[in-house]
Every structure is written in structure tokens, then in C-alpha cells.
Structure 1
């Protein structure tokens, strides 16, 4: 099974580097079903893999001017409370319940990716904005320093929710971070993809820190190879994003997510009854 670590890790890193999210959600089912880890050990190992890959992958994006350090750092810091709460709740949930809930999350992400690709582009080649998200939270800075506090609260809630998902499921939450950065903070899509890696890294590192006292027995050989291959995939994804149509990559990945969600559900849900 160790032979599968490198290709799966490359796939996860490639998605993170090219799409700013999505790939990390494969880490947990891969660690559980391919390498026989418990769900709690897998979600912890996933945080290490995803956090390292995201932070390293953010470097070439930063050099290319596709990372907003200030906005990314603020968004990540706002998610720390959610990371703590999610990490604590995760240990109290039975393994099959956690995996069943995880299958629902994977399917939701796949549907979200498919809907985003079907949405017609607006004028000027920019993605159309979902009317339901048109009033997304934005903090406005003017000479007199005015702040729309209602929208600011929504930003805090969004960041906290992303942190909660990271801490509970061991995923980066890039599927939520990228649209949040575009709609809430007004970043362009390329900058949102690069900045999301910084946010994912911050969320993953803080959630991992909250789990260090849980005494889990981690397979460091698998995690080390997984992380190394994911980092290489992330660096390759940085090149892919400028050469390959991200829409096609996203569509193919969404199909893969559907298959993984159905498999995870089939393996975990029967044990709930």
C-alpha cells in the first residue's frame, strides 16, 4: 500500500496548488481506507500533510504576486477559535459517525464545485456572482475609517466556520476559503487561490497544535511520504494553474470527489445501525 502514497499525495498537492483547495479532503479517506488508520489519527495526520503542503505551496504564489499576506493572515487568525472547538469535538465523536459526516461533506464540496463551473461568466470574463451571495461581508476602509460592522461580523463567522471544519474533519477548507476571499474581501480569483493556501496553512497548524495532547499513534512513515509527495504536487500545481484550464481540472476532481463520497458513505453508514 505504500506504493499508493506518492500518487495520492501528488494528486492532493496538485489540487491544492492549482485550485487552492479540494485536494485536502481526500487525505482523510485515503489514510483510513488505503492505510488502515483510525478516523481520529487520519484527521490529525491530514492536518500535518495539508498544513505543510499549503504553506510551502503558498511560496511560489507569493513570488508571483498572488498572495495577500495581510488579508490571508487576518482571515486565518479569525479561524483559530473554530479550529480549537472543532479539534475538541472531533475526539468525542465515534469513528463511523465521523466518517459518515465526512462523506456528506465530500459530496457537498463536489456539488459546490460542479455548480460553480456551470455558472455562466459575467462580463469581462469574470465569474458571475451568486445572487444569494451578493451581499457578502466586506469591511470598507475610507479616510474617515468607517466599518460596516454587520458585514464584519459575517466575515468573522465565515472564518470561524472554516476553522471549525479544519479542526473537526482535518481538512483545509479551501473550498470555502476561496469563494469567501473573492466575495467577502474582494480578491481576484488567482490571488484568492494563492491566499487561500496561507489561510489553510494557518488553520491546519493551529488545529494540529490543539491535538498534540491527544496521544494518538501516528504512522510517521506514511505521513512523511504523503507530505513530501503532496508538497511536490503543490509546487507542480502552481505551474498548472497558469497553463491548464482550471475549469476542466475542477470538473474532473469533482467527479472523483463524488466517487470517494459514495465509497466512504457505503463503508461507514451501515455501521451506524
Structure 2
């Protein structure tokens, strides 16, 4: 029964990651919690799910021409420091606090996804494929002369560090922050921001998992494997159908699911905090 639950949940997580460029990974840790893992085990196992799933989605999106590899890699590289710091901080925090933080984060994610849906209804549909953005507009150059678009550079630095901290601390991908950051700070159209975000998430998840190695935290690897395999398959499908399905409806349904899981996690965390 536990394996079956992990399979179904993994498919939902992967579909969201592939089609929406983020959001799905927020469910990986709560699923593992519901299947009997501790908070630290769940967040560690979640990093495996997030990393592998994001990689699978990124490969598929790259083949479809929706990934700007250099920009995604640069964002992920900046986020590595935050990911390592977050991973070490997670081991020093009591589990009830970790659960409460996770419940709060899910409420924020649900709010951001709702706002994104409202903007989507006001703007153009995602199904209209965007023109490929220019690649000759760097934020920082040293040759032939020094040039810095400092406001944009600061946005990237702050957002990437925040994503890294969340990834390391709570075992989430942070796509709900990466996608708008790539769209605003790096001027990527949404069609490219979603696919490119998966590259950054893969890097930060790997860095956070490496930071946790050797800490003695060992989740149930069978559950993690079932969740990971089905999530990776779902991400591949989601990335392929992203331009063919009504992602607004999918996002609305997923927002409701995130709110439900947030309430469940809060119910578990609050009694232990009082």
C-alpha cells in the first residue's frame, strides 16, 4: 500500500514539475512523512526525488528547445552556497519546527501559484510559443570593458540564494521562485523560464544532497525509489504536453492539493510546538 501511494504521488509530482516548471516537489517530503518517515528523513529523500525528476524534465524540455542551459546552470551555481548552508541548518532544527516551516512554505506556494494563474488569465496563453530570447544580453561582463547590470544581478543573487536555502533546508526544488526569477531578472519568456528552471533545480538539489551525505540520515530508500521513478516519468510526460494542455486548470487543481497538504502538515506540527 505504501509503495502504491508513492507511485501515485510521484506521478502527480512529476506532472507538475514537467508541465508547470515547479510546485510539484513541494509534495515529495509530505508524502514521505505520511508514509512514516521522520521530517529529516523525508526532506533528505525529497532531495533525491527533486533532483532526478528535475533532471528528467530538463532533458525533455531541452530536446523540445525550451531550455537555455547556460542561464540555468549559472543560476544553479549561484544557489549552491545557499543549498549547502540550508542542508547543514536543517540538521540543527527540531522536527516540529521543520514541519511548521514546511506548512508555512506550502501556503506561500499556493498563494504564488494563485497569483500566477490570475496573471495568466490577464495575459497571453502559455500555449502560444514565445520567441527564443536573445543570448547576447549579459548581466556582468569583464571584457573588453567592465559592465554590470547591478539591479538584475542583485535580483539573481538574492533569489538564487533563497532558492538554495529552501532546497537545502526543506528538500524542495524552489521552482515557484526560480521561474519568476528567470522571467523577471533574466528576461526569459515563461515558456523558457519553466524549462530552464529545471536545470537550476537539478544543481541545487544535488548540492544539498551532497551536503547531507555522511550525516547518518537514511530514509526508506524503497519508498524514495518508487516516488522518484514515477515522478521522473511524470516529468517527462508533463514537459512534452506543456504546450498542448490547459496548464491553468492543472495549476488550479494543484493549488488546491497543496493547500490540503499544508493543512495536514500544520495539524501534525502545531501540537508538538505547544
Q: TM over 0.5: same fold?
A: yes
- Rounded to whole Å, the distance in 2 between the matches of 1:150 and 1:244 is 36
Q: 1: CA distance between counterparts of 2:226 and 2:201?
A: 20
Aligned length: 261
Question: 2:15–2:24: 8 Å Cα contact kept in structure 1?
Answer: yes
Cα offset, 1:217, TM superposition: 2.2
Partner of 1:85: 85
Mapping of residues 185-264 of structure 1, within 5 Å: 185-264=186-265
How many angstroms does 1:60 deviate by? 1.4
- Alpha-carbon distance in 2 for matches of 1:89, 1:140: 31
The 1:146/1:122 distance shift into structure 2, 3 A limit, reads farther
Alignment check: 8 A CA contact 2:75 2:200 kept: yes
1:61 counterpart residue number: 61
Tell me the TM-score normalized by structure 1.
0.91
- The change in CA–CA distance for 1:271 and 1:222 in structure 2 (over 3 A counts) is same
Q: How many angstroms apart in 2 are the aligned matches of 1:120 and 1:49?
A: 28
TM-score, scaled to structure 2: 0.91
C-alpha distance in 2 between matches for 1:201 and 1:80: 11
**SS of alignment partner, residue 14 of structure 1:** helix
Counterpart mapping for 1:11-160 below 5 A: 11-33=12-34, 35-119=35-119, 139=139, 146-160=147-161
Q: Provide structure 2 residue ranges, at least 5 long, that are not aligned to the other structure.
A: 127-137
1:165 aligns with 2:166: yes
SS for the counterpart of 1:66 is coil
- 1 CA distance for matches of 2:115 and 2:41? 32
Report whether the alignment pairs 1:270 with 2:271: yes
Q: Displacement of 1:143 after TM fit?
A: 7.9
TM-aligned CA deviation for residue 152 of structure 1: 1.3
Change (3 A) 1:38 1:6: same
Secondary structure of 2:65 counterpart:
coil
Paired position in structure 2 for 1:129:
none
Q: Secondary structure, in 3 states, of the residue corresponding to 1:79?
A: helix
State the distance in 1 between where 2:194 and 2:118 align.
19
Q: SS at 1:80's partner residue?
A: helix
